[in-house]
Amino acid sequence: MSIIEAREVAWSFGSAPALRGATVAAAPGEILAVTGPRGSGKSTLLYCLAGIFTPDGGEVHYDGRRVDTMPEPARTQLRRTAFGFVFRSGQLVPELTAADTIALPMLVNRVRRGTAYARAANWLDRLGLRGLGGRRIGELSGGQVRRVAIARALAVHPKVLFADEPAGSLRLLVGLARADGVTVVLATRDRRVARVADRCVVVRDGRVSGAAEARAPR
């Protein structure tokens, strides 16, 4: 039984195919690593699964619902409430404080301000960032910024977390996700990074290799 699934997904950058019928699924609570060389289509597959890209062909399903045919407002709501994201660049606003950064997605979801900031403080404590809630993102170290990005992603209590090349703090991210029962789909070129996963698949030339569906070595 899967919580998130791509079925024969195709997607192109203009005339250049990035995915050519990729099929993959992750079970509830599973840590799935999607590996492959640069340009193989693994990040594109991640964005299709997350409803950021709309496939040219094939289907994407989340928890029994068809994602790729949803209207954009419904997909946006899904990304806000059911999905969490940790991107390689962090995509955090340097002028915001750490507490503001973590609380903002909850405020967008209409969580009460006091509750949102209390949860943000709890996540800062949980990630070893106590006392740094008032510091701006631009004033934090790279490692601290990565931890804030993880806290922002997990504070909304997502069902699925998508991580693109999460090299730093990966074990911390995976450990927290396991503790909360969150499914993680991570894209990485580094097979050593993939070893923290329950299972590893390989994307080559826009297709998922069935031969690589075995568990990643621990």
Strand pairing category for 183-188 and 16-26: unpaired
Q: Residue holding tokens 């990040």? A: 43
CATH of the domain at 187: 3.40.50.300
pLDDT score of 87: 82
In tens digits, the chain (218 residues) has pLDDT values of: 899 999 999 999 888 999 999 999 999 999 999 999 888 899 999 999 999 999 999 999 999 999 999 999 999 999 999 999 998 755 789 999 999 999 999 999 999 999 999 999 999 999 999 999 999 999 999 999 999 999 999 999 999 999 998 877 788 999 999 999 999 999 988 877 778 899 999 998 899 985 444 444 44
Residue 68 shares a structural domain with residue 141: no
Distance between CA atoms of residues 14 and 98, nearest Å = 38
pTM of the model: 0.90
Distance between CA atoms of residues 80 and 112, nearest Å = 16
Residue 56 shares a structural domain with residue 153: no
Inter-residue contact 188 to 211 (CB < 8 Å): no
Give the tens place of pLDDT for each residue, 106-149: 999 999 999 999 999 999 999 999 999 999 999 999 999 999 99
Environment class of residue 89 by beta-carbon count within 10 Å: exposed (0-12), middle (13-18) or buried (19+)?
A: exposed
Residue 63 shares a structural domain with residue 166: yes
pLDDT score of 213: 42
Domains contained in the chain, number = 2
Structural domain that includes position 116: 93-157
Residue 134 shares a structural domain with residue 176: no
DSSP element (H, E) containing 108: helix 98-108
Residue 150 shares a structural domain with residue 210: no
Residue 46 shares a structural domain with residue 99: no
